[in-house]
Structure 1
Amino acid sequence: MVWNWQQTDWPEFRYDSAALASLEETFLLRAGELFGAFHHVNPNDRDTLRIELISDEALKTSEIEGEILNRDSVQSSLRQQMGLDSETRRILPEERGIAEMMVTLYRTYGDSLTHYGLFSWHKMVMAGHRDIQIVGGYREHDDPMQVVSGPIGREKVHFEAPPSNQIRAEMDAFIEWFNGSAPDGKSPRPALLRSGIAHLYFESIHPFEDGNGRIGRALSEKALAQNLGQPTLIALAYTIERNRKTYYEILERSNKSNEITNWLVYFAETILEAQANTLTRIEFYIAKARLYDRLRGKLNPRQKKALARMFREGVEGFKGGLSAENYIRITGASRATTTRDLQDLVDKGALTRTGERRHTRYWLANTQTDQSPIERRGV
């Protein structure tokens, strides 16, 4: 197999710009809608919304790599690093590290890319990991850097990256391209084109022993933020994680040729879907704030606890809806009290009810938002 980096035209990627033209326009239009929606959030609630959006990305970019982190710990670390909380709860290094990287990305998106900056990100992403030789530096081992699957002796090689002795030169070229393609660079590129190339280019080099996926997605978000002139806060990792198999399949197909139009269309559509997901989440948060404002002083402690637990599930809500048994487990209430509490929440317009008897389920009211599906091409 001849990989993309082994071909004579590497890294001169070829693509059909016209295939992205309408997607670029949609991206800019939706970016305006997103920023507008964000500014409709009460100023006092914007920091909380930022924490929720950034923590979702931190959790999902780790989950894509099979690492499951604690939401409360990640959010606590984010609040500390953004100067919003002095709480000193115990936080694992992995959770503090990914939170620190996301805050650094948010605050320094406009800075030029450097080796030092990438090394710093790597130290954050690999905090708590003791199974790799080099943390905060490019790989140096002599063994091939491969992505493989299957049993020993019958492994399938999905990709092989350049050998370690080529990495510094490859990363010199990548950093020069990334900075040169920025809005103020020598050869500026449109947002979606630049973000898509950045991700594939970086992943093809695979410069670190581990953590390449998380850093590659962060680079894509950095590229978008630089083109927009402000942090995007879009749910990119959240969206990729929901279709992780497709993401890996297309990434694998795209490392065998330097004609990458299909990859760029896929990644651009993923970004648009991420924008739609983020807008939905912002609207959900606004609906949540309005509901709490309307019911301030009208809920008992059990109802507050149950609603908080339901909102914690996010836009998707409780799978299958909230049942009376769920409410009892959450609040410790008796069945008679549960019946009264739930009916009161329906009467107050906090919940809606469907079904009868043991099939009765409850759903958050006035928090459902429309999310149009994204038509995918070239997949």
Structure 2
Amino acid sequence: MRWNWQQTNWPDFTYDPVAIEPLERKFLLHSGEFIGAFRHVGPDDRDMFKIELISDEALKTSEIEGEILDRASLQSSLRGQFGMDADAKPVSPAERGIAEMVVDLYQSFAAPLTHQTLFSWHKMVMAGQRRIQIIGAYREHADPMQVVSGTLGNPKVHFEAPPSDRVPHEMHAFIEWFNDTAPGGIRPSPALTRAGTAHLYFESIHPFEDGNGRIGRALSEKSLAQNLSQPTLIALAYTIERGRKAYYEMLERSNKYNEITEWLIYFGETILEAQRNTLKRVDFYIAKARLYDRVRGQLNPRQEKVIERLFRQGINGFKGGLSAENYMSITKASRATTTRDLQDLVAKGALDRTGELRHTRYHLKLCETK
């Protein structure tokens, strides 16, 4: 017996609750901090922040699987899904599909999990795909469902899921477990414990031909939202993508046994890091709104384009800061015009300047949000 689902105690996962309890407490504390931070966001800006946070997650959960989406198109689709004003930018099936899934997750997190929920999500994440046979239903192929690396002549099997003919039974048990362990269920489970177990349990079954990773992460977010009674907007995929190698290594180490304390500690710490990243991003978006308020109507089109580009780079900005050469490349302005524009942005309080001569760099001047 090589895999967890082949053990006699499958799927009765065991763990040390004492080891997880400090993480559970921190999760609830950080959740309160996020709610408090979000109160600083004005009503007019909340929709914008929601789109920014959700689009970041949608982009990263796809990027983990090697699929690179267009941010502007995805955000346009999200605004349309939420009933906001959206531009006429073309949206690919992949961008529209992942937008539909994350919006459905956001709006219906409290609903019990069903087979139909999972089938609908699968249709969404596989929108426009033609590389698999079955979309919107569990896999049926007779070949082993394996995670493999290496060469054709020398493959390394990292995991093999239950055969397809077992999947309906396994998924019926999984859905029953997920709903039973929800708040108000017959055996409710703490937030991190439930989300971590749900992710490992689902990935161990690997019920679809493709898209299991994206749906598995969505299930963890649904689980957390149910335990908090509100959407989390947590940066889970963003955080996992930054430590992708460790994520896959831990999944591989945890798919052979049903004692999962080590996995739950790893996943719990990942969620706590995701919460910290979410708070940083909320602070960044609040600071972004405040900067735009300070300089609204004062910038020329070149300056507006550069400021927008700096914000699009995210929290970390340009590596080493914005240079005059960066400015000229973005705006196609002359060096003299670039010098005047940059000096004006510093004078208006939009940018900070550091260094001298060829080492001069510019950074967004973001005010404290607290």
User: So what's the TM-score if we normalise by structure 1?
Assistant: 0.96
Q: Give the conservation status (yes or no) of the 8 Å contact 1:132–1:209.
A: yes
Please give the alpha-carbon distance, in whole angstroms, between the structure 2 residues aligned to 1:287 and 1:306: 17
For 1:8-27, list aligned pairs within 5 A: 8-27=8-27
Query: 2:307 maps to what in 1?
Result: 307
For 1:66-145, list aligned pairs within 5 A: 66-145=66-145
Query: 1:234 maps to what in 2?
Result: 234
Please give the alpha-carbon distance, in whole angstroms, between the structure 2 residues aligned to 1:33 and 1:85: 30
For 1:71-220, list aligned pairs within 5 A: 71-220=71-220
1:369 Cα deviation from its structure 2 partner: 8.7
Please give the alpha-carbon distance, in whole angstroms, between the structure 1 residues aligned to 2:367 and 2:275: 18
For 1:49-64, list aligned pairs within 5 A: 49-64=49-64
- In the TM superposition, what whole-angstrom CA distance separates every residue of 1:37-58 from its partner, at most 9, and x where no partner exists? 1121110010011000000000
1:297 Cα deviation from its structure 2 partner: 2.4
Please give the alpha-carbon distance, in whole angstroms, between the structure 2 residues aligned to 1:369 and 1:60: 26
Higher mean alpha-carbon deviation, 98-107 vs 340-349, is at 340-349
Tell me the SS of whatever aligns to 2:5: helix
1:361 Cα deviation from its structure 2 partner: 1.1
Please give the alpha-carbon distance, in whole angstroms, between the structure 1 residues aligned to 2:354 and 2:255: 49
Query: 1:289 maps to what in 2?
Result: 289
Query: 2:33 maps to what in 1?
Result: 33
1:88 Cα deviation from its structure 2 partner: 3.2
Please give the alpha-carbon distance, in whole angstroms, between the structure 2 residues aligned to 1:211 and 1:310: 33
Higher mean alpha-carbon deviation, 290-299 vs 138-147, is at 290-299
Query: 1:373 maps to what in 2?
Result: none
Higher mean alpha-carbon deviation, 245-254 vs 347-356, is at 347-356
Query: 1:356 maps to what in 2?
Result: 356
Letter in 2 for 1:243: G
- In the TM superposition, what whole-angstrom CA distance separates every residue of 1:12-58 from its partner, at most 9, and x where no partner exists? 11100011111111111111111111121110010011000000000
Query: 1:377 maps to what in 2?
Result: none
Please give the alpha-carbon distance, in whole angstroms, between the structure 2 residues aligned to 1:304 and 1:368: 22
Q: Give the conservation status (yes or no) of the 8 Å contact 1:284–1:368.
A: no
Q: Give the conservation status (yes or no) of the 8 Å contact 2:287–2:369.
A: no
Please give the alpha-carbon distance, in whole angstroms, between the structure 2 residues aligned to 1:108 and 1:98: 15
Runs of 4+ in 1 over 3 A off after TM superposition: 367-370
Q: Give the conservation status (yes or no) of the 8 Å contact 1:58–1:98.
A: yes
Please give the alpha-carbon distance, in whole angstroms, between the structure 1 residues aligned to 2:317 and 2:248: 27
Question: Is the alpha carbon distance of 1:269 and 1:369 closer, same or farther for their aligned partners in structure 2, counting shifts above 3 Å?
Answer: farther
Query: 1:375 maps to what in 2?
Result: none
Letter in 2 for 1:284: F
Q: Give the conservation status (yes or no) of the 8 Å contact 2:97–2:126.
A: yes
Please give the alpha-carbon distance, in whole angstroms, between the structure 2 residues aligned to 1:95 and 1:69: 6
Please give the alpha-carbon distance, in whole angstroms, between the structure 2 residues aligned to 1:41 and 1:247: 33
Letter in 1 for 2:114: T
Question: Is the alpha carbon distance of 1:368 and 1:86 closer, same or farther for their aligned partners in structure 2, counting shifts above 3 Å?
Answer: closer
What runs of 5+ residues in structure 2 fail to find an aligned partner? none
Please give the alpha-carbon distance, in whole angstroms, between the structure 2 residues aligned to 1:311 and 1:13: 44
Please give the alpha-carbon distance, in whole angstroms, between the structure 1 residues aligned to 2:365 and 2:25: 34
Question: Is the alpha carbon distance of 1:273 and 1:369 closer, same or farther for their aligned partners in structure 2, counting shifts above 3 Å?
Answer: farther
Query: 1:244 maps to what in 2?
Result: 244
Please give the alpha-carbon distance, in whole angstroms, between the structure 2 residues aligned to 1:255 and 1:367: 46
- In the TM superposition, what whole-angstrom CA distance separates every residue of 1:234-293 from its partner, at most 9, and x where no partner exists? 100000000000000001000011111010000001001000000000001111111111
Tell me the SS of whatever aligns to 2:78: helix
Please give the alpha-carbon distance, in whole angstroms, between the structure 1 residues aligned to 2:88 and 2:310: 27
Query: 1:328 maps to what in 2?
Result: 328
Q: Give the conservation status (yes or no) of the 8 Å contact 1:284–1:367.
A: no
Tell me the SS of whatever aligns to 2:362: strand
Please give the alpha-carbon distance, in whole angstroms, between the structure 2 residues aligned to 1:7 and 1:136: 29
1:350 Cα deviation from its structure 2 partner: 1.4
1:86 Cα deviation from its structure 2 partner: 4.3
Please give the alpha-carbon distance, in whole angstroms, between the structure 1 residues aligned to 2:131 and 2:369: 43
1:305 Cα deviation from its structure 2 partner: 1.2
Please give the alpha-carbon distance, in whole angstroms, between the structure 2 residues aligned to 1:45 and 1:86: 16
Tell me the SS of whatever aligns to 1:133: coil
1:89 Cα deviation from its structure 2 partner: 2.5
Question: Is the alpha carbon distance of 1:364 and 1:138 closer, same or farther for their aligned partners in structure 2, counting shifts above 3 Å?
Answer: same
CA-based RMSD of the aligned residues comes to: 1.3
1:340 Cα deviation from its structure 2 partner: 1.2
1:164 Cα deviation from its structure 2 partner: 0.2
Q: Give the conservation status (yes or no) of the 8 Å contact 2:195–2:223.
A: yes
Higher mean alpha-carbon deviation, 357-366 vs 120-129, is at 357-366
Please give the alpha-carbon distance, in whole angstroms, between the structure 1 residues aligned to 2:250 and 2:294: 47
Letter in 1 for 2:323: S
Letter in 1 for 2:137: G
Please give the alpha-carbon distance, in whole angstroms, between the structure 2 residues aligned to 1:366 and 1:121: 38
**Paired residues, what number?**
370
Tell me the SS of whatever aligns to 1:158: strand
Please give the alpha-carbon distance, in whole angstroms, between the structure 2 residues aligned to 1:75 and 1:326: 26
Please give the alpha-carbon distance, in whole angstroms, between the structure 1 residues aligned to 2:297 and 2:78: 30
Higher mean alpha-carbon deviation, 32-41 vs 123-132, is at 32-41
